[in-house]
C-alpha cells in the first residue's frame, strides 16, 4: 500500500451487523442504571463501541472457513499443529502453549517464573499483567522513559525502556531478585506507544550480560512493527512480517493476547524456545485450562487463530488499520481535544484531565468523560486513569494517583468505517462546548482488585 496513492481498506464487506442509536433520554437512563460505569452498559445500548480493540475484530472469510476445519480431538489435534506452525513461522517460537486469552498466558508463565519478593522491570505493564505479577508476590516496576508520561511530547517510540532506569533498578535490587524483564509492545497503558527495535536490542544485550531473560507482551506486536517500519532508520524497505519476526529475536519468549493483533475473538498463547521452561508451564496449563495441545480453546479457535496470525502481518492490512486510528486522532486534534501524541496503533487516548480541568483526580475525570460521551453520542470508550490505576499510599487515606488520566477510544480491527470515526469526533465537537457541565463521580461500591471493572459510582 505504501506505493499506492489510491489505497483504501484492503477488503470489502460481505456481512453486516446492525447497530442503533437510542435516544439521549434513554442513554441518560442507561448510564444511571449502569452506576456510571461503562462496563455495566449493555452492548445493544451502544452505538459505536470503542471500549476495546480486544476480541472485537471482524474475522475474514478465510478465518470463518478455517473454523470449519477445526479438529476437536482432545490431544494432538491437527489444528494445534497448524497453530504451532504459524507461531513458529511468524514469531519464531518453537514451543506454543495455547490459552483462552492473554491473562491466562500471564498467569501460567508467571506462576513458574515469579517468587514472592521478586521485582519485574517493565516499560509499563498492562493492568492484568501487573495484577498477575502482584498475585504471585512480585512487584512490577515501570522503567519506561520519562517522556512517556508527557502526553504532548510528540516523539516516536515513547514505549521505550530507559536503559539508565533499568540498570539502576537491577543494581539496586540485585540480579537474583529479577527473574525476567518484560516489554509491552505497543505500550497500551502509556497510550499505545511503540518500542523501537534499537531499544528491544539494547535491553536484550544488557539482560544477556546479567543473564536475565526478556519476555514480550506481544498483544500488539504488529502495530509495533508497523511503527518501526514507518519511523525507524533502516526498516523502511522491510516487510512488517520481517520486522515482527526480528522483534522476537530479542526475547526469550512471549505472552500473547490473540484478541488484539491476531484478529480473533478469543485466544492467547505463550511462545517459548526453552524446552525446560515449556515443560514447567504445562502442568499449570493442564490443571487450569486444558491439555497441552488445546489450552482453553476449541480446535476451531486454534484454526481461526493460526489463520489470523498469517493475516495480521499483511502490510496493506496493518497500514489501513493504523491509518484509521490516526484519522480519528487527527479529527480530535483539530477540534482541540488534548490527545496523547503521536497517535498510537490501537486507539486514540484523550487526556481526560486536560479535557475536564474542573474535575479533581479524586472525581475520576476519565470515567466522567466516558459517561458524558456515551450520553452525548452513544459512543463507549474506557477510562484508564485514577479509577483503574490509583494505589493506596502508606499514610491513612493517602492515594497515589497515576501519572496520566487517560480516556481511550480503542478502534476494533476491520469493524467500523471512517464515517463511524467522524461521528465519534462529532460527539466530541458537541461535548467540548458544554464540558464545564460534566460532573465528577464518587464511588458507591469498590471491589478489592481491578476495581474499574466492577465499581459503582454516582455523580458528585
Ligand atoms: C497489552 C495487554 N496485555 C495483556 C492483555 C490481557 O489480555 P486478555 O484480555 O486477552 O486476557 C491486554 C488486554 O487488553 C493488553 O492490552
Confidence of residue 200 (pLDDT cuts 50, 70, 90): very high
Give nearest CA residue, ligand 1 atom 14: 54
The residue count of the chain comes to: 460
CA angle, 109 as apex, 103 and 114 as ends, to 5°?
110
Identify the residue whose C-alpha is closest to ligand 1 atom 4: 102
pLDDT band at 189 (very low <50, low <70, confident <90, very high): confident
Rounded distance from Cα 221 to ligand 1 centre (Å) = 12
Predicted confidence (pLDDT) per residue in 413-438, tens digit? 999 999 999 999 999 999 999 999 99
CATH says 61-312 is which class? alpha beta
- Taking the centre of ligand 1 as the mean of its atom positions, its distance from the CA of residue 101, in whole angstroms, is 8
Residue 135 bears catalytic tag: no
Q: Return all residues near 240 (Cβ < 8 A) that are at least 6 apart.
A: 222, 225, 226, 229, 313, 314, 315, 318
Average pLDDT over residues 346-367: 97
Pairing of strands 391-392, 48-49: unpaired
Closest ligand 1 atom to Cα of 52? 14
Q: How far apart are CA 107 and CA 101, in angstroms?
A: 10
Q: Is 420 a catalytic residue?
A: no
The reported pLDDT for the residue numbered 159 is 97
* Nearest residue to 338 (alpha-carbon basis) of 432, 430, 427: 432
From 57, 101, 124, 219, give the residue whose CB has the most ligand 1 atoms within 8 Å, as the site to mutate: 219
The atom of ligand 1 lying closest to the CA of 259 is 10
pTM: 0.95
What's residue 104's pLDDT?
A: 97
Q: Does 5 have pLDDT greater than 70?
A: no
The Å distance, Cα 275 to ligand 1 centre, comes to 25
Answer whether 124's CB lies under 8 Å from 189's CB: yes
C-beta of 346 in contact with ligand 1 (< 6 A): no
- Active site (annotated) includes residue 127: yes
Ligand 1 centroid distance, CA of 96 (Å)? 18
- 35-46 residue pLDDT tens: 999 999 999 999
Question: Which one is predicted more confidently, 189 or 182?
Answer: 182
* For the CA of 104, the nearest atom of ligand 1: 11
Residue nearest to atom 15 of ligand 1 (CA): 126
pLDDT classification of 6: cutoffs 50, 70, 90: confident
Strand order in the sheet with 214-217: 95-99, 268-272, 253-257, 214-217, 181-184, 119-122, 139-142
Domain 24-53+315-459, CATH among 3.40.1640.10, 3.40.640.10, 3.90.1150.10, 3.40.50.10860: 3.90.1150.10
Ligand 1 site-directed mutation target among 50, 51, 99, 102, most atoms within 8 Å of CB: 102
Element (H, E) at 182: strand 181-184
Distance 3 CA to ligand 1 centre (A): 33
Annotated catalytic residue within 317, 367, 452, 455 = 452
Instruction: Read off the DSSP letter of residue 60.
Output: P
Closest CA to 125 of 172, 190, 180: 190
Q: Is 219 in the pocket of ligand 1 (CB under 6 A)?
A: yes
Whether residue 284 lies in the annotated active site: no
Q: What's the average model confidence in pLDDT over 195-222? A: 98
pLDDT beyond 80 at 377: yes
pLDDT in tens, 390-411: 988 888 889 999 989 999 999 9
Q: Which of 100, 136, 204, 260 is catalytic?
A: 260
Residue 92: predicted pLDDT: 98
pLDDT level of residue 4 (50, 70, 90 thresholds): low
Q: Where exactly are the structural domains of the chain? A: 24-53+315-459, 61-312
| Whole-number percent of the chain with pLDDT over 90 | 93
Is the confidence at residue 336, as pLDDT, over 60? yes
What pLDDT, on a 0 to 100 scale, did the predictor assign at position 397?
86
| pLDDT above 90 for 18 | yes
Looking at per-residue pLDDT, the higher value among 191 and 182 belongs to 182
Among 318, 456, 345, 327, CA closest to 408:
345
Asked whether residue 342 carries a pLDDT value surpassing 60, the answer given is yes
To the query of whether residue 316 is one of the catalytic residues in this protein, the response is no
* 302-311 tens-digit pLDDT: 999 999 999 9
Render pLDDT for 97-140 as a digit per residue (tens, 0 to 9).
999 999 999 999 999 999 999 999 999 999 889 999 999 999 99
Q: Chain-wide mean pLDDT for the chain?
A: 96
> Does 386 have pLDDT greater than 70?
yes
Mean pLDDT confidence for 76-99: 98
Distance 9 CA to ligand 1 centre (A): 26
Amino acid at each position: 500500500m505504501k506505493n499506492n496513492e489510491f489505497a483504501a481498506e484492503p477488503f470489502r464487506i460481505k456481512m453486516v451487523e446492525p447497530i442503533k442509536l437510542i435516544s439521549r433520554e434513554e442513554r441518560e437512563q442507561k448510564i444511571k442504571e449502569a452506576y456510571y460505569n461503562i462496563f455495566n452498559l449493555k452492548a445493544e445500548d451502544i452505538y459505536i463501541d470503542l471500549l476495546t480493540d480486544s476480541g472485537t475484530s471482524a474475522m475474514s472469510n478465510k478465518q470463518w472457513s478455517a473454523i470449519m476445519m477445526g479438529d476437536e480431538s482432545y490431544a494432538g489435534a491437527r489444528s494445534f499443529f497448524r497453530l504451532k506452525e504459524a507461531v513458529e513461522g511468524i514469531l519464531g517460537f518453537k514451543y506454543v502453549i495455547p490459552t483462552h486469552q492473554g491473562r491466562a498466558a500471564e498467569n501460567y508463565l508467571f506462576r513458574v517464573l515469579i517468587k514472592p519478593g521478586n521485582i519485574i522491570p517493565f516499560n509499563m505493564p498492562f493492568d492484568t499483567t501487573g495484577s498477575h505479577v502482584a498475585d504471585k508476590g512480585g512487584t512490577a516496576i515501570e522503567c519506561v522513559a520519562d517522556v512517556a508520561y508527557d502526553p504532548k511530547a510528540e516523539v516516536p517510540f515513547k514505549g521505550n525502556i530507559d536503559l539508565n532506569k533499568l540498570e539502576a533498578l537491577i543494581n539496586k535490587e540485585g540480579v537474583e531478585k529479577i527473574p525476567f524483564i518484560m516489554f509491552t509492545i505497543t505500550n497500551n497503558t502509556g497510550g499505545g506507544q511503540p518500542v523501537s527495535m534499537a531499544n528491544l536490542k539494547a535491553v536484550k544485550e544488557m539482560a544477556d550480560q546479567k543473564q536475565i531473560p526478556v519476555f514480550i507482551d506481544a498483544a500488539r506486536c504488529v502495530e509495533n512493527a508497523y511503527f518501526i517500519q514507518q519511523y525507524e532508520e533502516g526498516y523502511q524497505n522491510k516487510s512488517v512480517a520481517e520486522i515482527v519476526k526480528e522483534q522476537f529475536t530479542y526475547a526469550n519468549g512471549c505472552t500473547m493476547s490473540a484478541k488484539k493483533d491476531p484478529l480473533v475473538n478469543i485466544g492467547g498463547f505463550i511462545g517459548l524456545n526453552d524446552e525446560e521452561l515449556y515443560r514447567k508451564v504445562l502442568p499449570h496449563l493442564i490443571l487450569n485450562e486444558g491439555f497441552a495441545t488445546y489450552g482453553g480453546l476449541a480446535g476451531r479457535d486454534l484454526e481461526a487463530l493460526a489463520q489470523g496470525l498469517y493475516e495480521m502481518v499483511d502490510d496493506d492490512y496493518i497500514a489501513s488499520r493504523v491509518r484509521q486510528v490516526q484519522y480519528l486522532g487527527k479529527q480530535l486534534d483539530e477540534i482541540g481535544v488534548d490527545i496523547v501524541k503521536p497517535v498510537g496503533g490501537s486507539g486514540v487516548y484523550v487526556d481526560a484531565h486536560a479535557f475536564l480541568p474542573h474535575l479533581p483526580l479524586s472525581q475520576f475525570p476519565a470515567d466522567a468523560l466516558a459517561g458524558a460521551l456515551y450520553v452525548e453520542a452513544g459512543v463507549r470508550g474506557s477510562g484508564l486513569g485514577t479509577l483503574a490505576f490509583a494505589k493506596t499510599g502508606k499514610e491513612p487515606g493517602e492515594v497515589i494517583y497515576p501519572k496520566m488520566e487517560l480516556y481511550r477510544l480503542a478502534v476494533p480491527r476491520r469493524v467500523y468505517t471512517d464515517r463511524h470515526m467522524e461521528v465519534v469526533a462529532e460527539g466530541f465537537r458537541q461535548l467540548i462546548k458544554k464540558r464545564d457541565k460534566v460532573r465528577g463521580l464518587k464511588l458507591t461500591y469498590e471491589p478489592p482488585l481491578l476495581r474499574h471493572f466492577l465499581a459503582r459510582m454516582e455523580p458528585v
